[in-house]
Amino acid sequence: MPAVVSELKGRSSRGNSKKNALTQSMFQGLRDLFLEVGDRADDRVLIITGGGDAFSSGADLTDPDAAMKIAGGRGSALAWMRLVEQAALMLHELPKPTIAAVNGVAAGASLNMALGCDLILASEEARFSEIFVHRGLVLDFGGHWLLPRLVGLHRAKELAFFGEILSAAEADDLGLVNRVVPPADLLPLAREWAARLAALPPINLSIMKRALNRALETSMAASLEFEAVAQNVSFSSVDTVEAMAAFAEKREPQFRGE
């Protein structure tokens, strides 16, 4: 079966006090990678995790390229932020399931990158913070859009205004993550979920992802019309024919994304 699970793993934080901090070039690399994975037919699922004992501490404000743009004034800083914006949008619009496996601290932009994934698994050692306010900044990487949809407006304001550090259990209680597991189980579970997703019909997963992402911005009538058109596409797909045949023949279907 031509199903591939792509894994994006940050730099190891072993001996690195910055804990996988994201530089300007890394934001550009993320943007390009998300676009590339979206375009590759054989890639079915993307897992994002961090190297070493951290997911990521967020944007590296000491990065020389970023510091030069910040020092250059508002126009230069805006150019840097366009990369962040593009990476966040590419992740959001990636037409395939994405899984964040949060193995340690996830702060600032990296937290919102995790929240921008379709599914979030967290190690018991994971920590989460919208740290921006303590750096004299506002949320980025889609945080203002994501948080209210995940936890409600007032909880979102609490997380943004105070920038406190949440434990994995606290994040779970707020509904920010799907599962909290022991550290040793994190990647095995992420890979198990990815393998299950990779075995499912990619066209249908892509359509459902797009519809769910837009659910809070559309009317019931518009959503029903989208479902009618999308289901018509499903009925005419090779994968649906295969699913029906496999059901009748009492075997597992083999989906090709056609």
Domain total of the chain: 2
SS3 string, the chain, reads CCCEEEEEECCCCCCCCCCCCECHHHHHHHHHHHHHHHHCCCEEEEEEECCCCEEECCECCCCHHHHHHHHCCHHHHHHHHHHHHHHHHHHHHCCCCEEEEECCEEECHHHHHHHCCCEEEEECCCEEECHHHHHCCCCCCCHHHHHHHHHCHHHHHHHHHHCCCEEHHHHHHHCCCCEEECHHHHHHHHHHHHHHHHCCCHHHHHHHHHHHHCHHHCCHHHHHHHHHHHHHHHHCCHHHHHHHHHHHHCCCCCCCCC
139 and 235 within one domain: no
pLDDT at residue 165 in the model: 97
Q: What is the mean pLDDT of residues 17-25?
A: 82
For residue 9, pLDDT over 80 is answered with: no
23 within a domain of the structure (yes/no): yes
pLDDT digits (tens, 9 = 90+) for 226-239: 999 999 988 888 98
Q: 158 in a domain, yes or no?
A: yes
Q: What is the pLDDT of residues 39-81, one digit of tens each?
A: 998 899 999 999 888 999 988 877 666 555 555 555 577 887 8
Pairwise pLDDT comparison (4 vs 192), residue with the higher score? 192
Confidence of residue 4 (pLDDT cuts 50, 70, 90): low
Listed residues 198, 213, 241: the one ending a domain: 198
Q: State yes or no: pLDDT of 23 exceeds 70.
A: yes
- Asked if the structure places residue 255 within a domain, the reply is no
Q: Both 145 and 190 in a single domain?
A: yes
What pLDDT is attached to residue 15? 39
* Per-residue pLDDT, 160: 97
CATH code, domain with 61 = 3.90.226.10
- Whether residues 112 and 236 fall in one domain: no
Helix 74-93 × helix 64-71 angle, to 10°: 130
The answer on pLDDT for 5 being more than 80 is: no
* Residue 225 lies in domain: 202-249
Q: Taking residues 16-41, report their average pLDDT.
A: 87
pLDDT bin (cut points 50, 70, 90) of residue 14 is very low
- Tell me, yes or no, whether 173 and 206 share the same domain: no
pLDDT at site 199: 93
pLDDT of 12 higher than 70: no
Residues 118 and 207 in one domain: no
Q: Is residue 46 part of a domain?
A: yes
One domain for residues 82 and 134: yes
The answer as to whether 138 is a domain residue is: yes
Q: Which of 181, 198, 215 is the last residue of a domain?
A: 198
Rounded to two decimals, the pTM is 0.90
Judgement on whether residues 105 and 231 belong to the same structural domain of the protein: no
Q: Domain for residue 256, yes or no? A: no
123-171 tens-digit pLDDT: 999 999 999 999 999 999 999 999 999 999 999 999 999 999 999 999 9
Question: Percent of the chain scored above 70 by pLDDT?
Answer: 89
Q: Is the domain of 149 the same as that of 220?
A: no
Task: Give the mean pLDDT of the chain.
Answer: 89
**Residue where a domain terminates, one of 157, 174, 198:** 198
Residue 195 has pLDDT above 80, yes or no: yes
Q: Identify whether residues 23 and 49 lie together within a single domain.
A: yes
Is residue 254 a part of any domain in this protein? no
Is the same domain home to 210 and 185? Answer: no
Predicted confidence (pLDDT) at residue 105 exceeds the cutoff of 60: yes
Q: Is residue 242 part of a domain?
A: yes
216 plus 163 within the same structural domain: no
For residues 10 and 33, membership in a common domain is answered with yes
